[in-house]
Chain A
Amino acid sequence: MTWHLPTSVDDVVRTRAERPEAPIVAGGTFLGILVRQGLVEADEWISLQRVTELTRMHSAGDLSVGAMVTHRRLELDDTVRTIWPGVAAAFKAVASPRVRNRATMGGVLADADYASDPPSMLVASNAVAEIASVRGTRRVPVEDLIIGHYSTSMEEDELITRVVVPRPTGAAVYRKLRTRSQEDRPASSVAAVVHGETVRVVVGAVSDRPYHFADVCSQWRPGDLDSAREIGEEYASRIDYIDDNRGSAAYRRHVVGVEVRRALMAVAR
């Protein structure tokens, strides 16, 4: 077997173009489970562990997060906590420190697991992913990157290089609902971020991908409980829910209404 250890993004995309079958390995928390269980097999692997440019993070202006920046770093970074508290909270909500020490920004977006915490907050924050291949670089809003169950709009050979989160102009709230244990994945993941006069509410972990309804959000009257309730009910009724061992579809429909209402009241405080 071959474990490729490229050291630059150029190197990675070239190696990938020649071997589209070879999985990219970032923190390896998602792949590790699949590999251990025999669900993923490969003869060649491309590891990002030596690509130091992907571990860069900048926060002058917008927040630029390299694909290999870990959840733990986002959770603990003083600037992120102060200026992007919603982002820090959503990454901190993931599993245990053991997972957060390894799990990366690129990995959580590329695996597109419906039961994740960060995607709803990234979509609510208008985050944009930068994606590279031998054909060049393109930018895709995270909203258009995760398109369904474990599926993204990326091509086979593309690599997420970084994610840019605009500097917030208003408050942000992240609400994770756990139904089994403290370290469990979310049964519902609600993010609300205020942008000027409007709010972006995004609901994840209850369906195939995160959902945002701009027309519903535009009805928001900040601080008004009836308005928050109506928006919650509208979100609850529009989503097509999944049934899994974290909650039935009917349960999720109910809690989404409540969680959205609470997020809206909290973000207006």
Chain B
Amino acid sequence: MNLTLNVNGRAVDVDAEPHDMLVDVLRDQVGLTGPRVTCGVGLCGTCTVLLDGEPVSGCILMAPLAQGKEITTIEGLPEDDEVVASFDRNHAFQCGYCIPGMVLTARDMIDKGHACSREEIREGLGGNLCRCGCYLKIIEAVEEAAQ
């Protein structure tokens, strides 16, 4: 099936079947490697992308469901994004594998006013796993970016 997807502000034509998940289409056809597949069942958050500004798991999103939505990957955030800068300042990562998902999830929380307390930040990031265990610094980075 031919689909037109709006990715990071531009329209891209892809060839995807319903059994193709959005994350694979973005990586293999659009060339965006920010979203990564790890668990493949919606649990860990490394495949996070924003659909109309809301985080979703790209690993379990049948590609045609993204039609007509604005898809944002980590590559689509502006160079000087405040959340990215705050992660940088706080050294809130080790290997960086989970970071695109963490940043996009935090971006949504901050934009919607759901990062007002540490408790709220912990809860909002609860579905994003960091194998390097950088949680404390990640929470600090989001807290700082939210201010």
Report A's interface with B, CB cutoff 8 A: 1, 3, 25, 28-29, 31-33, 35-36, 41-42, 45, 47, 49-50, 72, 95-99, 101-102, 182-183
Contact = CB atoms under 8 A, between A and B. Distances in A.
Interface of B: 1, 17-19, 21, 40-43, 45, 48, 51, 54-57, 59-62, 64-65, 67-68, 105, 108, 123-124, 126-128
Contact of B55 (A29, A33, A98): A98
A189 to B, nearest CB: 18
B55 A32 contact: no
Contact of B17 (A1, A98, A99): A1
B60 to A, nearest CB: 3
B54 A35 contact: no
Interface centre among A25, A49, A98 (most CB of B within 10 A): A98
Contacts of A50: 68
A3 B56 contact: no
B124 A25 contact: no
Nearest to A49: B65
Contacts of A35: 18-19, 62
B51 A96 contact: no
Nearest to A48: B65
23 contacts: A3-B1, A25-B65, A29-B57, A32-B21, A33-B41, A36-B21, A36-B40, A36-B59, A47-B65, A49-B65, A50-B68, A96-B45, A96-B126, A96-B127, A96-B128, A97-B54, A97-B105, A98-B48, A98-B56, A98-B105, A99-B127, A182-B127, A183-B43
Contacts of B123: 182
Given A32-B42, A32-B60, A97-B105, 17 more contacts: A1-B1, A1-B18, A25-B18, A25-B65, A28-B65, A33-B60, A35-B19, A36-B19, A42-B18, A45-B18, A45-B64, A47-B64, A47-B65, A96-B45, A96-B126, A98-B55, A101-B51
Contacts, number: 83
Contacts of A31: 62
A233 B41 CA distance: 36
Interface centre among B18, B56, B126 (most CB of A within 10 A): B18
B126 A32 contact: no
B108 to A, nearest CB: 8
